[in-house]
Every structure is written in C-alpha cells, then in structure tokens.
C-alpha cells in the first residue's frame, strides 16, 4: 500500500483566499487520493455563510481546524483592511505553532502551503522541517509585478503614478503607474513597506503556486520561470474555480434569481457584481443604476449598501440590505420587467454558467475573471481596489475580452458612459469579437485541467516532489 503524503495548509482570512486554496487542496487530493491535507484556518470575526457552506463540501482526506478567532474590535480602528488581516494573523501565529507542533508529533507533514496573505507562517516550515510553498490566488501578472517592484523601488525616486511612461514588467502588458496595486500608490506608507517585505519572503520559498494557466498569461508565466530570473519555482495550477452549488433549502434569493434567468433569452442578461465584499459610493450607485436603465438591456445586479471605502464590507457581511434605501427613487419599479436586484450575495458560478447571461460587469477580482473565462462571458472591467486595475488592463488591452469604461475626473463613471459600454458589450460588431476571443480562452481554460493539460502536468510535477519526501 502507498504511504499517505501529509500536507499542512494555511489559508487567508478572506472569502476568496480561504476557498481558493481549499479548492486547490480538493483538486490535489482528488488527483492523488493518497495525499492528506490538514488545514488551519485563521479567523477574523466569524466566517461568512458562504465560507461555512463551502467547508461542508470538503472530502474526508481534508481536515479543517479553525484557529481561535481574533475579534476585529481588538484591532486598532481605522487601519486598512489588509493591515487588519496581517495583524490578526500575527495574533494567530502562537496557536498555529501549537497546532503544527501536535500535528508533527502524530503525522509529520512534508510541506506547508500558505496563502499569500499568511506569509508569516513560513518561518514555521523551517522550524518543523517542511518544504514551504506560497499559494498565490491573484494573477501571474500581479506576482511578476510584485517581484519587479523590488527592482523598481531601487531605480525610481518619484511616486509610480507620476512616472511619465507606462511600466513594462517583463512579459506583461505595459500599464500606467496609477494602475499599480493600491499598496504601491504611496511609497512612504507602511502598507508599501510591508508589501516589499512580503515579496522578499516570497523569494525564499520552495515554490509559488499561482491560480493561472499558461494560455491566459503566457508572457508573465514564462518571464517568471525564466532561468536566471532568481525567482523560486513557479507552478501555474489554475484555473482553480471555486465550486459551490445552490440547492433547495439554501438561500431563497439565489434560487429566485436562477429561476428568473431560466425565463430569459440566451445571452440577454448583464450580470453585475463587485466580488465577495466590494462596495460603491452612494453617488456611484445612482449613476450605475441610471446607466443600466438608460442602456435598455436586461440585468441581474448584486447590490450592497453604499460605502465610501470600496473594501469595508469584506470583513462585515451585509445581511440586512434594503436596496430601496439607496437606489434612485422609482428605479426598482421602472426596471422591474427587465432587471433583478439581489442584495449582498448571489450564486455567481451558476449565474455565469447560465445560458441567459451574456456579459459580466465585474470589479475584476481574479476569481471572478477566471470564472467568466471558464464560462465564456465577456466583461466590463470596473476595478475598485487592490490589484484589480492591473487585471482590468490585462483584460481590456492584453486579452481583449473586456471593455473598460472611462472614469470622469470626479472619480465617477457617469450614467451615459455606463450605458454606452453596456451597449458595446451586449450588441454589435465589437460584442461579437469579444465573445469570439473569450470563447477561445474558455477552451484553453478547460483544456488546462484535462488529463494532459498544462496545469495538470504542473500539479504532477509538484506531486512528485512532495511524494519523494513523503
Ligand atoms: N462570489 C459569489 N457570489 C457573490 C459574490 C462573489 O459566489 O455574490 C464569489 C465569486 O464567485 C468568486 C469570489 O466570490 O469566486 C470572489 O472572488 P474575487 O477574486 O473575484 O474577488 P474578491 O471577493 O476577492 O474581491
């Protein structure tokens, strides 16, 4: 009988970072049933319902333990959300140490795989004599940019957004400094210094697993893996698509919107969503609503209450949203025949996989992008924060499967622009070209995870390395 290969996994405390690494773990044990994963989950506040229902889908060879939760009220108030997550994680480290210690006494893991937001755990890999890997949920473009920042930081004296020329990261589509990740927008900030420290830690691991595949990001992946680049081994294992399913007994809103989609014409619906916690300002919600109305296209919109900070809702679920409180007066009544508004959360995978959905207005989170690609749905790119602006550039200027609306000087995408870009996405010549290109990518995405696909081969290389130590 083959010996079991044990792996320890530490996700990030953020819906998409928690479930993406676990979905990868599911794939790993499905391909190699003699692998066993033990997962230690850091928690900040209580996990969302979506996270909890995902955890119920895990097979018996993945064990999950929640580390004692950190109460958000115990953290300094008013600091950026990423700093909250990192601070909370450092408070969880002693518990993780304890948990790994008892695990090592029973069934020593050969490797520790940590989410890119939990890199402080990497020291424990050395202490417990394990190989160390980072699971990086965003794009290869983002990872390449992170490494390139170490060089750019030494060569540049001004803020990156003031650079006159676009930044050319090896293998990537050039982008303007103002489209760089949020943490690099103020070089004197603590969050920027922290980003550089985090990237330096990436340099010393045994490998980085990225949720991408060769055919979607050939340039950055090849550049990352180039001999002499000095980077650790990079394993493109994607697209890792978070598999969830809404069944009867689950949330009523989700079932209602799927039933509504069943009644619509093929490719007629624009799906609008800003990820697991993205929010818009009150002014922007009004312009988006009026733009949707002006476009005359049908839509399914996941709405959250307005917030002046685009990522405040990530750690505080909005369970009691009443859209009539912040949507323009009369909007719900006027659009009831052609629009559906659903508060807070929708079954996104099933929506994107529905034949009635013909476009996705997205905040450009990397999981949402991969899901849209997997189901062949072209996008309107509406980045909010983090690395999403770089993703928007990749989609609109690189892969040409998305349209980026023009933002007015006041920082708002106005209703006429919203309507114009929706029409371009949903009708006419440009729409046909976008659809053709995303369908080519859809095929490549599906092939990458077939038996002889590029990502399956990469996972096998990783598997062999781990097995030889097991
Ligand atoms: N998601 C969902 N329903 C929603 C909003 C989001 O199922 O109403 C899922 C979506 O399918 C994706 C994840 O949440 O898997 C969002 O990840 P992404 O990387 O796109 O954005 P983030 O939430 O990290 O900003």
At 450-463, the pLDDT tens digits run 999 999 999 999 99
| Full residue range of the structural domain in which residue 327 is found | 252-446
Measure 276 CA to ligand 1 centroid, in angstroms.
Answer: 4
Per-residue pLDDT of the chain (470 residues; tens, 9 = 90+): 578 999 999 998 788 889 999 999 999 999 999 999 999 999 887 788 888 889 999 999 999 999 988 887 888 877 777 788 888 888 899 999 999 999 999 999 999 999 998 899 999 999 999 999 999 999 999 999 999 999 999 999 999 999 999 999 999 999 999 999 999 999 999 899 999 999 999 999 999 999 999 999 999 999 999 998 889 999 999 999 987 765 555 578 888 999 999 999 999 999 999 998 899 999 999 999 999 999 999 999 999 999 877 776 666 666 678 899 999 999 999 999 999 999 989 999 999 999 999 999 999 999 999 999 999 999 999 999 999 999 999 999 999 999 999 999 999 999 999 999 999 999 999 999 999 999 999 999 999 999 999 999 999 999 999 998 75
56 in a domain, yes or no?
yes
Task: State whether the beta carbon of 220 lies less than 6 angstroms from ligand 1.
Answer: no
Q: Which atom of ligand 1 is nearest to the CA of 241?
A: 15
Task: State whether the beta carbon of 242 lies less than 6 angstroms from ligand 1.
Answer: yes
Q: Which residue has the tokens 């917030």?
A: 307
What's the domain count of the chain?
2
Task: State whether the beta carbon of 173 lies less than 6 angstroms from ligand 1.
Answer: no
Contacts 24+ apart (CB under 8 A), 164-168: none
Measure 367 CA to ligand 1 centroid, in angstroms.
Answer: 6
Task: State whether the beta carbon of 16 lies less than 6 angstroms from ligand 1.
Answer: yes
Which CATH number characterizes residue 18's domain? 3.40.50.2000
Instruction: Point out the catalytic residue in the list 115, 182, 297, 354.
Output: 115
Task: State yes or no: is 115 an active-site residue.
Answer: yes
CA pseudo-torsion sign 12, 15, 17, 21: positive
pLDDT in tens, 276-308: 889 999 999 999 999 999 999 999 999 999 987
Q: Are residues 201 and 307 in the same domain?
A: no
Q: Which atom of ligand 1 is nearest to the CA of 344?
A: 8
Q: Are residues 264 and 410 in the same domain?
A: yes
Measure 138 CA to ligand 1 centroid, in angstroms.
Answer: 12
Task: State whether the beta carbon of 374 lies less than 6 angstroms from ligand 1.
Answer: no
Note the pLDDT of residue 317.
61
> Measured between alpha carbons, how far is 387 from 220 in angstroms, rounded to an integer?
15
246 in a domain, yes or no?
no
Residues near 182 by Cβ (< 8 Å), separated by ≥ 6?
A: 191, 385, 386
Measure 348 CA to ligand 1 centroid, in angstroms.
Answer: 7
Q: Are residues 151 and 205 in the same domain?
A: yes
Q: Are residues 270 and 370 in the same domain?
A: yes
Q: Are residues 214 and 267 in the same domain?
A: no
> Measured between alpha carbons, how far is 126 from 221 in angstroms, rounded to an integer?
27
Task: State yes or no: is 17 an active-site residue.
Answer: yes
336 in a domain, yes or no?
yes
Q: Which two tokens stand for residue 77?
A: 């108030």
36 in a domain, yes or no?
yes
232 in a domain, yes or no?
yes
Note the pLDDT of residue 314.
67
Q: Are residues 199 and 162 in the same domain?
A: yes
In this structure, the residue with its CA closest to atom 8 of ligand 1 is: 345
Q: Are residues 404 and 271 in the same domain?
A: yes
Note the pLDDT of residue 231.
94
245 in a domain, yes or no?
no
Q: Sheet of 402-403: strands edge to edge?
A: 339-343, 298-303, 269-273, 357-362, 379-381, 402-403
Task: State whether the beta carbon of 372 lies less than 6 angstroms from ligand 1.
Answer: no
Asked whether the beta carbons of 121 and 141 are under 8 A apart, the reply is no
Q: Are residues 436 and 463 in the same domain?
A: no
316 in a domain, yes or no?
yes
Q: Are residues 23 and 107 in the same domain?
A: yes
Note the pLDDT of residue 470.
59
Q: Are residues 32 and 175 in the same domain?
A: yes
Task: State whether the beta carbon of 275 lies less than 6 angstroms from ligand 1.
Answer: yes
Measure 204 CA to ligand 1 centroid, in angstroms.
Answer: 30
Task: Tell how strand 298-303 and strand 339-343 pair up.
Answer: parallel
Q: Are residues 233 and 271 in the same domain?
A: no
Task: State whether the beta carbon of 360 lies less than 6 angstroms from ligand 1.
Answer: no
Q: Are residues 129 and 227 in the same domain?
A: yes
247 in a domain, yes or no?
no
């Amino acid at each position: 009988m083959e010996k079991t290969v044990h792996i320890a996994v530490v996700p990030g405390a953020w819906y998409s970072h928690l479930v993406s690494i676990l979905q990868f773990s599911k794939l790993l044990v499905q391909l190699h049933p003699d692998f066993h994963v033990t997962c230690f989950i850091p928690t900040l506040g209580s996990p969302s319902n979506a996270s909890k229902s995902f955890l119920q889908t895990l097979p018996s060879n993945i064990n999950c333990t929640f580390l004692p939760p950190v109460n958000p009220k115990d953290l300094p108030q008013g600091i950026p959300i990423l700093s909250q997550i990192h601070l909370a994680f450092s408070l969880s480290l002693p518990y993780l140490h304890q948990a790994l210690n008892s695990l090592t006494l029973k069934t020593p893991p050969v490797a520790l795989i940590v989410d890119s937001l939990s890199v402080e755990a990497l020291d424990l890999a050395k202490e417990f004599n394990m190989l160390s890997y980072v699971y990086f949920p965003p794009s290869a473009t983002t990872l390449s940019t992170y490494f390139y920042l170490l060089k750019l930081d030494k060569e540049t004296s001004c803020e990156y957004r003031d650079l006159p020329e676009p930044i050319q990261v090896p293998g990537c589509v050039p982008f303007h400094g103002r489209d760089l990740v949020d943490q690099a927008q103020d070089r004197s900030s603590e969050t920027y210094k922290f980003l550089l420290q985090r990237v330096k830690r990436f340099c010393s691991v045994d490998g980085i697993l990225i949720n991408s595949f060769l055919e979607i990001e050939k340039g950055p992946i090849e550049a990352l893996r180039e001999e002499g680049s000095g980077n650790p081994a990079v394993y493109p294992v994607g697209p890792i698509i978070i598999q969830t399913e809404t069944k009867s007994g689950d949330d009523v809103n989700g079932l209602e919107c799927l039933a509504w989609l069943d009644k619509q014409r093929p490719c007629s619906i624009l799906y609008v969503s800003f990820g697991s916690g993205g929010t818009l300002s009150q002014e922007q919600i009004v312009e988006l609503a009026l733009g949707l109305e002006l476009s005359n296209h049908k839509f399914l919109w996941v709405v959250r209450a307005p917030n002046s900070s685009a990522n405040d809702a990530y750690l505080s679920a909005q369970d009691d949203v009443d859209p009539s409180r912040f949507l323009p007066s009369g909007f719900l009544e006027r659009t009831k025949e052609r629009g559906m508004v659903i508060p807070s959360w929708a079954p996104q995978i099933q929506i994107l996989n529905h034949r009635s959905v013909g476009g996705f207005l997205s905040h450009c989170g990397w999981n949402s992008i991969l899901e849209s690609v997997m189901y062949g749905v072209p996008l309107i790119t509406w980045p909010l924060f983090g690395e999403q602006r770089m993703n928007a550039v990749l989609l609109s200027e690189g892969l040409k499967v998305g349209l980026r609306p023009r933002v007015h000087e006041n920082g708002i995408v106005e209703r006429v622009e919203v309507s114009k870009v929706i029409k371009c996405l949903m009708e006419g010549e440009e729409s046909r070209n976008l659809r053709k290109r995303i369908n080519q990518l859809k095929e490549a995405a599906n092939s990458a995870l077939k038996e002889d696909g590029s990502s399956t081969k990469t996972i096998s290389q990783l598997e062999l390395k781990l097995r030889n130590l097991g």
